[in-house]
A and B are shown apart, each in its own frame.
Chain A
């Protein structure tokens, strides 16, 4: 594959898409924890994929190695900043996250199940929404900006303690209508380029779009540390980037459209382990 990519960058970047299979490799974190990065396709995509594959397999060797070690992974320093926030007392109730939840390790079961139906609120909530609900109603603190630095650092912390546990979002029951709205968005062509999520990530994953190796668009690694901007990127910001690249007006982070899309895309990766904060290009 390396040679293929080399040939492409050497100037053979034709408009046609060239096949470049995902790499056969195993992600072992810190030489200890084996992460499930490919698995039999879950129900939501069983009709289109045999197997779902983490974006990790679509990256070059150096990028894959950077994620395999917690020190080499620059995303982990932001998870550590998230841990500082976890222990910071804020708001009218004089509480930190730790006041109720104690160790972040106690939250290991949380990330894999979000977005998730909240019975009391009568809505599907993302992890960000739940964090802000905690801040507002339990801590009496100000909400964080949906994809702001503090929020992304906190979601990085919560993802990091769930690494090695499979994504498992519910798509039936009260969440079903939101999931269906997300599915509709996934297959809707946007922008002047008239591209849907599916055009790239379902129909052409594994191929090169110019110099880029298209993945399945799985989100089990979010928030991701991108080499491109050398920071953690929240999943809704990534959605925005994708839609912007179709030359469309995009939805806002935290909008009902992106909440639905997140639930749907997460369900396409049910069974893949949580990897966040992952490292991507």
Chain B
């Protein structure tokens, strides 16, 4: 699926319904997070890469990595979480590369998205579906 902004909002809505939360609150939060970051600018494809496991053994600790050649800031969103914001990396003059790795919480199987603000002021995004295994016994 091409992850358009519209789809992203719809997915957020799906998560909201699943979580039994009012539609408008969560959908707005997802959209707002993106809008606040981009100032409403168009988000294209390009110089941003998101690496995440295809399958996360547990949604509580999921390793991810973002990288770009020219980003000044990278925002990470988990679109299926009750609150989609995950982290924003702002790169200073002594950053050697526009990369970062961290570990995140995912409420269930969903798309994780990275949006980069590039040095030329434009925005690009990449996303990756992470399947979260639920329903083992696992003590």
Question: Can you name the residue of chain B whose Cβ is closest to the Cβ of A225?
Answer: B61
B138/A228 in contact, CB under 8 A: yes
Residues of A within 8 A of B53 (CB): 60-62
> Given A6-B54, A63-B57, A230-B61, A13–B139 Cβ distance below 8 Å?
no
Range of interface residues on A (Cβ < 8 Å): 20 to 34
Main secondary structure of the interface of B (DSSP, over half): loop
Give 29 A-B contacts (CB < 8 Å), ordered by A residue.
Answer: A2-B54, A5-B55, A6-B54, A6-B55, A6-B131, A9-B109, A10-B131, A60-B55, A60-B57, A62-B63, A63-B57, A200-B137, A210-B135, A211-B134, A211-B135, A211-B136, A212-B133, A212-B135, A212-B137, A212-B138, A226-B58, A227-B58, A241-B138, A241-B139, A242-B139, A245-B139, A281-B57, A281-B58, A281-B138
B-contacting residues of A (Cβ < 8 Å)?
A: 2, 5-6, 8-10, 13, 59-63, 66, 200, 209-213, 226-230, 238, 241-242, 244-245, 281
CB < 8 Å A-B pair total: 66
Provide the residues of chain B in CB contact with A211, threshold 8 Å: 133-136
CB within 8 Å of A: which of B30-65? 53-58, 60-61, 63
Nearest-neighbour CB distance to chain B for A197, whole angstroms, equals 12
B interface, how many residues as a size bin? Answer: 10 to 19
Q: Which residues of B contact A9 (CB under 8 A)?
A: 55, 109, 131-133
